[in-house]
Amino acid sequence: MAYSLAVYAGFLCVFVYAIGFVQRVGVPKDIDDGASASTGAAIAIDLALLGLFALQHSVMARPAFKRWWTRIVPAPIERSTFVLAASLALALLLWQWRPLTTTVWDVESGAARAALHALSWLGWLIVLATTFLINHVDLFGLRQAYRHLRAQPPATPEFQSPLLYRLVRHPLMLGFIIAFWTPPTLTQGSVLFAAFTTGYILVALQLEERDLLLDLGDDYDAYRRRVPMLVPGLKPHTTAATPDQHTGDSGAHHTEDVGCPPPPDRRQETC
């Protein structure tokens, strides 16, 4: 339990710093600060850092990896270990990021600038709210460790779609996309960061949806036919699930692990 609490505290520190990094507020080094490099070198380094973060999330979130990994790492701390790895990958990105400071987008009008600031912060609020709509302590590995400490069996996953999940299937990821793209000032570095993470989210959600179909079967298939993936009000576009998608071993918890540690609601998200 102490391990999971320490990992959670470390994640909070890194994640709060990451918000300041993107928003350019309250941190000593933001997305437009850091060691100078040529444009080509900066792009290469930043893409490598983003790619490492994406690789960590995608590999460690997959059920097959979890089945192998829990032969080495005890299952009650598997999620906490994922959060630790994600936090270290994110911390490395924040530390080694190379700035690309040419301005791409800059809204100077007072009212419009304030509106974009508000929209960007709304994105972060959606991210935070979503973690509590599902199960915040489960998402970050605390419930798993606590239940093990109390000698209780792992919680049984259940399908649920509370509040924001009735509007889109992945509100956590929608929150990140809003937060990354709507600051009133975007530099080349900001656009690179936002474009890569958005592309990764779109790809990773395809893998996540496949895992959720295997895990939740007809319940999730009906849900995805009813609710759009990321854009509220957009008619869902899905392909029919094949019979073999509704069978098989679902493995350990799936969590929306894009961009930052994700949500396990068994209608879960990848961060």
Q: Where are the domains of the chain?
A: 2-246
Is the pLDDT assigned to residue 241 strictly greater than 70? no
Q: Quickly state the pLDDT bin for 6 (edges 50, 70, 90).
A: very high
Dump pLDDT digits (tens) for 122-146. Answer: 999 999 999 888 777 777 777 777 6
Q: Which of 256, 260, 259 is nearest to 200 (CA)?
A: 259
DSSP 245: G
Helix (H) or strand (E) holding 187: strand 185-187
- Please check the confidence at residue 249 and state whether its pLDDT lies above 50: no
Other beta carbons within 10 angstroms of residue 14's beta carbon come to: 21
- Paired strand residues for 187: 103
Q: Would you state the pLDDT for residue 155?
A: 67
Give the range among 61-75, 155-169, 183-197, 211-225 with minimum mean pLDDT: 155-169
The pLDDT, as a whole number, for residue 96 is 97
Show the tokens assigned to 105: 């987008």
Strand, coil or helix: 210 = helix
pLDDT in tens, 159-201: 677 789 999 999 999 999 999 999 999 999 999 999 999 999 9
pLDDT score recorded for residue 140: 77
By C-alpha distance, which of 116, 93, 256 is closest to 173? 256
Q: Structure pTM?
A: 0.83
Task: Please report which residue ranges of the chain form alpha helices under DSSP H.
Answer: 2-23, 39-61, 63-69, 78-96, 110-133, 136-139, 142-149, 171-181, 188-216, 218-226
Residue 149 has pLDDT above 70, yes or no: no
**Residues found in the chain:** 271
240 has pLDDT over 70: no
